[in-house]
Amino acid sequence: MELQQLCSINAAIYQPLYEMAQGLISWMEQKKNKLEKRDFHLYVSCWTGDNALRELEEANISKQCFPILLECATKAIKVATDLETAEPHISGMGVITLEGRATGNWTYAFSLWCLNPAVVFRDVADLSLSIILTSGTLSPMTSFTSELGVHFETSLEAPHVIDVDSQVWPAVISTGPGNYPLNASYKTADGYAFQDAVGKSLEEIFKIVPGGCLVFFPSYKLLEKLCNRWSETGQWSRLNAEKPLFV
């Protein structure tokens, strides 16, 4: 490992980073067999609050050692970006992917997600004299402002432009042409029968609904699968003949 080699040159900077990387690798190896299936080809484990802190401590990342790691990382980056120094440093690319050598092995990822928008918005608010937010989906304002952690002195909630009584028709379509169930779970989403049924259903809807149609999908992965399938079968051309398609 690159960090291990650099430890012999400057242990004060690279040894803590090397131990952190080793701790993360060991932690991921321990957890990879305890993942829960979230989607097709997607297994995850999620922790929040104190549980997340305990997991980080298992990976040798704690509140006590974080300042040291941050200082070492800052110094390592400075050495790597200093064009005038000849001192060995971390390379710009840790792993090179050889073309044509792709395998079907699983890829494990470690992510830290901040799910509180107020954390990011606070920096924006502190740097601004005034902030104007406009959208058609901000209402109700009470919950929106609490999520951002900022009180807005002036706000306006205008009536919706859509007449619910005459312009909205809510319905659930459970089956497509041929009575095939429109079930987009990971067990059926990869089946050609389901993908074809969705395409034919949209074609019939396009024929009936005037103007344009806005279609949402559960995920970008499913959207890509459907678009590829419809391009192969000609369904894409039939849909485009009814209404111009934009993705």
State the Cα–Cα distance between residues 185 and 191, nearest whole angstrom. Answer: 10
* Residue 191 region by backbone torsions, left for phi larger than 0, else alpha for psi between -120 and 50, else beta: beta
* pTM for the predicted model, two decimal places: 0.42
**Residue percentage of the chain with pLDDT more than 90:** 20
Q: Note the pLDDT of residue 175.
A: 92
Which are the contacts of 80, defined by CB distance < 8 A and separation ≥ 6? 89, 90, 92
Higher pLDDT, residue 93 or 231: 231
What is the pLDDT averaged over residues 223-238?
Answer: 94
Strand partners, 43: 37
Q: Note the pLDDT of residue 40.
A: 63
Tens-digit pLDDT profile for residues 50-78:
888 888 888 878 888 888 888 888 887 77
Cα angle for residues 165, 171, 174 (degrees, 5° grid): 175
State the Cα–Cα distance between residues 119 and 112, nearest whole angstrom. Answer: 14
State the Cα–Cα distance between residues 44 and 36, nearest whole angstrom. Answer: 5
Q: Where residue 241 falls among pLDDT bands split at 50, 70, 90?
A: very high
Task: Report which residue type is found at 170.
Answer: P
Domain boundaries, the chain: 2-81, 117-163, 171-242
Two tokens at 17?
């980073």
Nearest-CA neighbor of 235 among 195, 188, 189, 191?
A: 195
pLDDT tops 60 at residue 124: yes
What count of Cα atoms within 13 Å lies in the side-chain half-sphere of residue 211? 3
Q: Note the pLDDT of residue 57.
A: 86
